[in-house]
Amino acid sequence: MPTTTVTPECTREQQTIADAVARSKKIIIVTGAGISTNAGIPDFRSQNGLYNLVKKKYPTNVVKGRDLFDSVLFKDSTSTEIFYTFMASLRDEVLKVKDSTPTHKFIRTLADSGRLLRCYTQNIDGLEERDGLITDLSCGRGKRKRPSPAGAMEDTRTREEKGCQVVQLHGELQHLRCTQCQTLTGYDQEAINSLIDGVPPLCQACETQSTVRSAAGMRATAIGRLRPNVVLYGEEHPNANEVGRLNEADIRAVPDMMIVLGTSLKVHGLKRMVREFAKAVHAKGGIVVFVNNTPPAESTWNSVIDYHVTMDCDAWVAEVKHRRPGIWERQTKLAVPRESTNINYRIDEDGCPEGFKAKGLQGFRGQKFQKFQRKRHKIQGSEDSEDSGFESQSSAEESPGPQEAQVAGTNRRKQVSCETDEGDCGNLAFSYPS
């Protein structure tokens, strides 16, 4: 089907997309530089963009913007110097950012509510980490969290259980990588000053190894240079195997929606990945949404993208939040299904002796709960349960054991486990009609 263009005035299509976000359980997110401009990071091509800022320092050297992200720049000493200056300037702009954008927080919300399958980003600013999303590829695919229809809940899983939530396709600016030994290191002031001047600093790990070998009478090894841990066009990702495994796993998981945000879809590798994900989404009956002020670069996307939303990314997120606010609501209590029996709750204020904790329906005050209270008091017999818990008046034994009470009209039986601070006091089984 051809791509449907959606403007802010297209209320029906806007609602359809918002409903799809709320309904989906395995969403793939693909992001580009357009989601970070509202955070204060200048884009590359505007009048005050980073390209022009670098060209002011090198007025006699005309370098195209794309050339600053292409591996061919290392063939020329001048373009290499411009590259290091440019990256140092970009990192400085990222450090000035005080907070991420609503779009970044939207991705975190999808993760908290169990709707996010994975996010793939072209950005190297690392703003996703500021919202607590995991970008470490060594964490693997993780374990799927059950989607929460009632809103986002605090995610108590470990890093390994969450897995790598955001795949940085072009690396990141937070570390420097040695061109010789591939060691990752942080920035110090000496390295920063060197990069600003367009000179890559020497790798201390390589220097140490070379010194040790020389002291042992062995041949000294080469000493590498440190460069920002970014992946340029024409380079292979240093963790290409891990990225490939995550990509294959996500396709096998059969995502039910894909949202592409703030990118023009011009990079060949990204275009291929988006097409593969779109095929999986459509096989599941889901939709592909492209959010960007300008249309994608090629007309061939008509059979891939279902909706092109011509809006700013943050404005579109606000529109979705307006139409489906439940996606953002923080769930402070566990939802209570009609037939649920495995939810922890306190009923001390409803008649259970002080110090007891019962497992049953959270805060339930209806007719069924009142029937259970009356039945429990009938078989309890004694309020003094410090040692043995609930005891029957007619029981001659001190052992608590399980006791059962059944209400006529049903065979369904609900289990409530009671504990005192000192230990277990047994199980109370009861039944009630629906």
Structure tokens at 433: 């009609």
Mean pLDDT score of the chain: 80
Q: What is the pLDDT of residue 157?
A: 74
203 is in an annotated binding site: yes
SS3 317: helix
Identify which of 388, 355, 361 has the alpha carbon closest to the alpha carbon of residue 373.
361
Q: What digits encode the pLDDT tens for the residues 399-415?
A: 444 444 444 444 444 44
Cα(428)–Cα(200) distance, rounded to whole angstroms? 71
| Identified catalytic residue from 170, 268, 322, 377 | 170
282 is catalytic: no
Dist CA 141 CA 249 (whole Å): 8
Its pTM stands at 0.74
In three-state secondary structure terms, 185 is strand
The percent helix, strand, coil of the chain (3-state, each to 5) is 40, 20, 45
| Terminal-to-terminal C-alpha distance of the chain | 47
Residue 10 assigned ligand-binding role: no
Is residue 181 part of an annotated ligand binding site?
A: yes
**Which helix (DSSP H) or strand (DSSP E) does residue 189 occupy?**
helix 189-196
169 close to 214: Cβ distance less than 8 angstroms: no
Amino acid letter, residue 123 = N
Query: Mean pLDDT across the stretch 50-73?
Result: 73
Query: Are 170 and 124 in contact, with CB atoms under 8 Å apart?
Result: yes
In the chain, what are the domains? 4-41+97-170+234-327 (3.40.50.1220), 174-230 (no CATH), 344-431 (no CATH)
pLDDT in tens, 356-389: 444 444 444 556 556 666 666 665 554 444 444 4
Q: How far apart are CA 311 and CA 261, in angstroms?
A: 10
The DSSP call for residue 71 is: G
Q: Which CA distances in Å does 297 have to 263, 292, 409? A: 10, 11, 67
Q: Write out pLDDT tens, residues 200-258.
A: 999 999 999 999 999 999 999 999 999 999 999 889 999 999 999 999 999 999 999 99
Transcribe 349-408 into DSSP letters.
GGTPPTT-EEESSTT--SHHHHHHHHHHHHHHB-S--TTT-SB-TT--------EEE--T
